[in-house]
């Protein structure tokens, strides 16, 4: 398969190209994208305030073959969106945290480490491509 050439404009096209070369190679994309999300998680966790540690522990990677996803909150920390974005909660909306449209933790950290995320994404996608037997420039 050394003669194969694959030019990619986006992640969906990359996935489709991988499936043409090797049907099982596209499945490795989810794992590769989770490693990219882990870079964001590692940078964000120290920023989140902690009493019990549940909000910090609630960050987890849930990528698919076509999207890198970060899940936060959930049953262990249902208050995480309030912690990150603010708003009113509690009895008669009595607990007030100033609302930040851009958030306090995840999105500002993503903006700050964007070059690191891009580098991790390139390394992860190159690893998937070489694992499928493609030469990467």
Please tell me what DSSP assigns to residue 43.
H
Residue 70 backbone phi and psi in degrees, to 5:
-120, 125
Counting the structural domains of the chain, the total is: 1
pLDDT-based confidence at residue 40 (cuts at 50, 70, 90): very high
CA 83 to mean position of chain CA atoms: 19
Indicate left, alpha or beta for 102 from its phi (over 0: left) and psi (-120 to 50: alpha): alpha
Q: Which domain holds residue 30?
A: 11-131
Query: What's the DSSP call for residue 95?
Result: E
The average pLDDT across 83-92 equals 96
Domain contains 83: yes
In percent, the amount of the chain with pLDDT more than 70 equals 93
Assign 51 a pLDDT band (cuts: 50, 70, 90). very high
The answer to whether residue 82 sits within a structural domain is: yes
- The conformational region for residue 88 under phi > 0 = left, psi -120 to 50 = alpha, else beta, is beta
Question: Which whole number is the average pLDDT over 62-85?
Answer: 93
Mean residue pLDDT of the chain comes to: 89
Measure the CA–CA gap between 104 and 49, rounded to whole angstroms.
11
Answer with the residue of higher pLDDT: 36 or 17. Answer: 36
């Amino acid at each position: 398969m050394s003669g194969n050439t694959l030019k990619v404009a986006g992640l969906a096209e990359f996935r489709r190209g991988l499936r043409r070369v090797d049907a099982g190679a596209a499945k490795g994309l989810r794992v590769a994208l989770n490693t990219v999300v882990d870079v964001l998680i590692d940078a964000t966790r120290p920023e989140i305030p902690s009493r019990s540690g549940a909000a910090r522990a609630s960050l987890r990677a849930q990528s698919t073959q076509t999207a890198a996803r970060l899940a936060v909150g959930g049953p262990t920390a249902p208050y995480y969106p309030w912690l990150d974005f603010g708003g009113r909660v509690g009895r008669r909306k009595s607990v007030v945290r100033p609302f930040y449209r851009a958030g306090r933790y995840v999105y500002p950290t993503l903006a700050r480490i964007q070059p690191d995320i891009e580098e991790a994404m390139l390394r992860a996608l190159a690893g998937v491509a070489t694992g499928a037997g493609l030469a990467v420039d």
